[in-house]
């Protein structure tokens, strides 16, 4: 086994075992599995939200994933962002999201795989909903499959320019189990460093599920608490999407 892959998997296990399945969406944590060559994975509508009480923000989006070649996935995200706070509800076009996943290691017999999944956002937002600068995320994800169980995770560095912003590290680990042929359940833990000057890091815990509907549709959902360092009460994060495989 490649030594770099072994090290990454050991780090993932070290994070997961003291606190304690293939996925990606609906989890905050991603995995290294690309879309099948010549096929599409479409999530629409996709709704995500996070915050505390009445103060929350998120997006209603369409995500398009395509497999142009073996071990390669191209992804486009088209969001409409929103913010709800004491001044009311505000919405507008979000930043265009572009990314490419390349699975550079895959051992089917051992159930091991790893991938780069760099992505950028372009400042296409309206009504002040997005970032005025190009941002980027440079992560590596790895996965171990054993029967109906999957352990996956990793993370990377986020480049986050703009007034008052700062670059940060982010990552997580998740475990899922295929309970039946049409139901997958999972748990996860994610950590993000402060993304603004004077900001604080946060930890998100979550439960997720993927339910196979009539072919080719899937229903995906996840959610849980988010704890900001130094704050007493927890916020929340939530995700829901209809998936289509063609």
What pLDDT does 23 receive? Answer: 52
Check residue 37 and report its DSSP letter: B
Radius of gyration of the chain (CA): 18
What pLDDT does 22 receive? Answer: 41
pLDDT-above-90 percentage for the chain: 85
The phi and psi torsions of 210 (rounded to 5 degrees) equal -125, 120
d(CA 142, CA 213): 28
Place of tokens 């990314």: 99
Which residues in the chain come in under a pLDDT of 50? 1-22
What pLDDT does 86 receive? Answer: 87
What pLDDT does 24 receive? Answer: 80
d(CA 169, CA 88): 32
Whether the pTM exceeds 0.85: the reply is: yes
How much of the chain is helix, strand and coil, in % rounded to 5?
5, 60, 30
What pLDDT does 72 receive? Answer: 98
> For residue 197, what are its two tokens?
């000057």
Cα angle vertex 178, ends 175, 180, to 5°? 155
Place of tokens 């049409």: 182
Long-range contacts at 45-48 (CB < 8 A, ≥ 24 apart): 45/241, 45/242, 46/239, 46/240, 46/241, 46/242, 47/239, 47/240, 47/241, 48/237, 48/238, 48/239, 48/240
What pLDDT does 53 receive? Answer: 87
d(CA 5, CA 128): 41
Domains in the chain (CATH in brackets) are 3-245 (2.40.160.40)
């Amino acid at each position: 086994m490649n030594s770099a892959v072994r090290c990454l998997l050991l780090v993932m296990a070290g994070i997961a075992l003291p606190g304690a399945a293939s996925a990606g969406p609906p989890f905050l944590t991603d995995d290294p599995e690309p879309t099948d060559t010549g096929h599409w994975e479409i999530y629409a509508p996709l709704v995500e939200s996070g915050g505390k009480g009445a103060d929350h923000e998120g997006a209603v989006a369409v995500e398009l994933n395509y497999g142009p070649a073996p071990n390669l996935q191209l992804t486009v995200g088209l969001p409409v962002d929103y913010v709800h706070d004491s001044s009311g509800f505000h919405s507008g076009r979000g930043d265009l999201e572009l990314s490419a996943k390349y699975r550079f290691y895959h051992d089917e017999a051992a159930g091991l795989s790893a991938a780069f999944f760099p992505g950028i956002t372009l400042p296409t937002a309206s009504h002040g909903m997005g970032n005025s600068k190009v941002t980027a995320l440079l992560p590596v994800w790895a996965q171990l499959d054993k029967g109906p169980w999957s352990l996956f995770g990793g993370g990377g560095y986020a480049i986050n320019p703009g007034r008052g912003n700062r670059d940060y590290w982010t990552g997580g680990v998740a475990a899922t189990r295929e309970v039946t042929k049409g139901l997958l359940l999972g748990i996860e833990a994610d950590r993000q460093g402060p993304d603004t000057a004077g900001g604080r890091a946060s930890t998100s815990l979550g439960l997720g599920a993927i339910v196979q509907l009539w072919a080719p549709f899937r229903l995906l959902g996840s959610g849980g608490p988010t704890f900001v360092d130094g704050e007493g009460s927890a916020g929340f994060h939530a995700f829901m999407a209809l998936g289509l495989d063609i």
